[in-house]
Amino acid sequence: MTADDFGASYLQQRLSGEFALVDHIGVRVESADDTRLVLYAPLAGNANDKGTAFGGSLFSVSVLAGWAWLTRHLARESCAADVVIQESRMQYLIPVRGDFRAQLCLPAAEEVARFRRMLRRAARGRIGLRVEIRDGDDVATRFDGLYTAAMRPG
């Protein structure tokens, strides 16, 4: 895989290069293609004294999964825009007791098309993205984030 694929190694480089905390958390891009975006993190370094994952770590990996999906989408479209989180909701349903994976729930094609139109017309677009962390088959946390992409000036 080369950087031109905008795949796992491309996103790993972006994440590690742009967020100081990424390497402390141990975030690793496990999958990044058109059908699937998954970030992995180890429990070690993210645990509390009960042996479950800290809510702030689960949130961080979730918010980064949404950022990574949207950043990859923009890079593939050769669209020079920066992505920031604007608002989010996080539900903690069951404790996470091991290494964990945050998986993006792919947005509907109409939502992506609407986002692209906003970005083209107003140089700024918003999109809602959902990320889930699972424990086996069960959803452990559900993150819903509203992201804004803004075209870089010039």
The reply to whether 98 sits near its own copies by the rule CB under 8 A is no
Contacts of 142 (CB under 8 A, 6+ apart): 90, 91, 93, 130, 131, 132
Output the smallest distance, CB 80 to its own copies, in A. 14
CA distance linking residue 153 with residue 77, whole number of Å: 17
Under rule CB under 8 A, which residues in 36-55 are in contact with its own copies?
A: 44-50, 54-55
CB 145 within 8 A of CB 128: yes
Contacts of 21 (CB under 8 A, 6+ apart): 60
Output the smallest distance, CB 149 to its own copies, in A. 14
Among 19, 99, 105, 126, binds its own copies (CB under 8 A): 19
Nearer to its own copies, 19 or 40 (CB): 19
The reply to whether 137 sits near its own copies by the rule CB under 8 A is no
Nearer to its own copies, 6 or 147 (CB): 147
The reply to whether 153 sits near its own copies by the rule CB under 8 A is no
CB 62 within 8 A of CB 102: yes
Q: CA dist 73 to 27, 115, 138, Å?
A: 20, 11, 28
Among 5, 77, 87, 111, binds its own copies (CB under 8 A): 87
DSSP 3-state of 154: coil
CB 130 within 8 A of CB 105: yes
Among 7, 38, 92, 112, binds its own copies (CB under 8 A): 92
The reply to whether 13 sits near its own copies by the rule CB under 8 A is no
Positions that interact with its own copies (CB under 8 A): 17-21, 24-25, 44-50, 54-57, 59-61, 63-64, 82, 84-92, 95
